[in-house]
Amino acid sequence: MKLPISRRLIACADLVPPCHTAADVGTDHGYLAIRLLQEGRCARVIASDLREQPLATARANAHRFGTADRMDFIQSDGLHNMKPGSFQVLILAGMGGDLMTRILADAPWLDDPAYTLILQPQSAANDLRRWLGEHRFGIEQERLIRDGGFLYGVMRVRPGQGRPLTPGEQYLSPALRRADDPLYADYLRRVRTALERTVAGISQSLDPADLARAPYFREALAELLALPDGKEE
């Protein structure tokens, strides 16, 4: 029986280092957790979700694919019901970067090099990267994946190894700029186009909040326009 897992979640699983326990927060159907156990990347997986219905679905799928005895199911808002040290790898996938930021900010105990974070934001990735840099979380690896017509970035992050990122780096991380990723040029083009539209819109706005943010977006766009279309050397 083949696991019906998306390419996006496979990319997340591929970045998980060998560990005893991983925590898949926002597990939904549980396919990512099941994949990790099937591949032997982890001995156990904590599958958590805010709502009971996704957890029930994840439990059913775990029994279906024979991994339920190696999984713990926890109903939790982020990491509120999890104990520090109960896992080594944290996975946040398929949610907005703003929600990821809140989950991480609510768990200051994650600021420990013993943890590895796998992050796959659906939106607001620049805001997530900014927060990570400001709190010294380093993006040690970032990959791109095309799934369902969309381009996603998947990051492997380590605490204590980061630095504040420039506006341009918040949109396209140094790790991704160094990577020999076949989707890099397409991703760079898309981010440039999105920033050009943002700058054009803000330039015509009379809203004081837009005017205050305008220098940030202009600086980010200028940085990305200065990059070569291929990977950085």
Per-10-residue mean pLDDT, the chain, length 233: 96 98 98 98 97 97 98 97 97 97 98 97 97 98 95 97 96 96 96 97 90 95 91 48
> What is the pLDDT, as a whole number, of residue 44?
98
Rounded to whole angstroms, the Cα distance separating 24 from 86 reads 12
**Quick check: 136 and 171 in contact, CB under 8 A?**
no
> What is the pLDDT, as a whole number, of residue 233?
43
Write down the H helix ranges in the chain: 7-14, 31-39, 52-65, 97-105, 125-134, 167-171, 174-178, 184-203, 208-225
> What is the pLDDT, as a whole number, of residue 161?
86
> What is the pLDDT, as a whole number, of residue 152?
95
Rounded to whole angstroms, the Cα distance separating 141 from 40 reads 21
> What is the pLDDT, as a whole number, of residue 2?
95
> What is the pLDDT, as a whole number, of residue 231?
52
**222 — alpha (psi -120 to 50), left (phi > 0) or beta?**
alpha
What pTM did the predictor assign? 0.95
